[in-house]
Amino acid sequence: MKKVDDYKNKNVLVFGAGMSGTNAAELLVKLGAKVTLTDAKPADQIKAYNDLQNDGVKVVAGKSPVSLLDGMDLMVKNPGIPYDNELVKAAQSRNIPIIVELELAAEVSEAPLVGVTGSNGKTTTTTMITKMLQAGKQHGTALDGGNIGIPATKVAQEVTKEDVLVLEISSFMLLGTPKLHPHIAVITNIFSNHLDYHKTRENYVNAKMQITKNQTKNDYLVINFDSEEWRELSKRSKAQIIPFSLTDHYQNGAYVSDGDIYFKDEFIMHKKDIRVPGEQNVQNALAAIAVAKLYEIPTEAIVSVLKNFGGVRHRVQYVLTADNREFYNDSKATDIEATQMALRGFDEPIVLLAGGLDRGYTFDKLVPDFKDSLAGIVLFGQTADLLEEAAKKAGVPQIKKVKNLDEAVPEAFKMSKPGDIVLLSPANASWDQFATYRDRGDKFIKDVEKLTGKKETN
């Protein structure tokens, strides 16, 4: 861990007692800061409450009054807390700097950083990169953290100069990382997402582009070139641009040509040999290959990872096969584009399970994909009626609305025939019926196991 004196004797308010907040508080204590942590949850719901107090952190639970800002030099907030929160707005009005836990991690990490962001594919791409670097790096290793579910500050204290720290970074995080400087930044794609937080697409796009703002000509931006908008956005960066594309041949990047994958005209592998299904995973692989090649990872190591990597949990994850039907869990598909990608990844007929939180938009964009892919659809949650309209427009032959996943799984099985894919890809956030998309995906897996009498394939 780097020696950092910037926080010594500083008064720091950590806002949010989740994993990122508690790990940030513990690191700040090590860096010599005077730390107060606050959360609206009562003390008995803060897992690390006693440990934090024993480490010298003042914990204010059950409330977060504005008076906590008195005398504070810095706020470290949970990325999910919006900037229109009362305490956050009060900090801004007092000109108190606001950062997130990942910014601390980047400051103390001895290892160079690879930062991965995008609307879809972040976790899969982060995992692919990490596995490739681990498989082929001659000195040191690679560790991942951040939005992938591992506190970045925890991993940042472990890595050495010979290692690489691969960080999955959300748009929420990027708004709180003013000094972040990845040696390699990756943008998988940018759609319209989290507009309830960012308010406008322009704000969302600008947040994503924060990943490259501190890069120089000695750094690299690996970016999807399959959209004119994304190609134009790349011009904002001072880094060397490494494009990847499913549709065009970019000699200085990673691309697909006649079903084969290349990097800078070097044949890497046949596209069909990538184990995880779907064009979206080919895109993820292209981005990961570009990063691995920049680190001079041998092609054999790259190919071995892509032939054996079975996918990330809840992201077009193969669950099991029963009665000649394959079940897939894509609970992480919380927007229309993610579900489009999932549907386009299969050649077989699909029975889709979809629905969730109503964010005020229709699903007409899914009509062509429904028409091309679906043998049937089972709908649940707040958006069931809206998805039903899209399914009817597409002429989906079987449409059924149910109350919840418990009812949806057996209905989907009834609709399916041998050789079909049964796919959970909701196209919606989970918060109408589940705490997280992970809870939704885990429930789907349990329901499939109960229905089939088989266990998930790991």
- Binding positions: 118-124
What's the length of the chain?
458
At 386, list the tokens: 């809206």
Residues of each annotated binding site for ATP: 118-124
Q: Output phi, psi for 407, to 5 deg.
A: -85, -30
| β 98-99/74-77 pair status | parallel
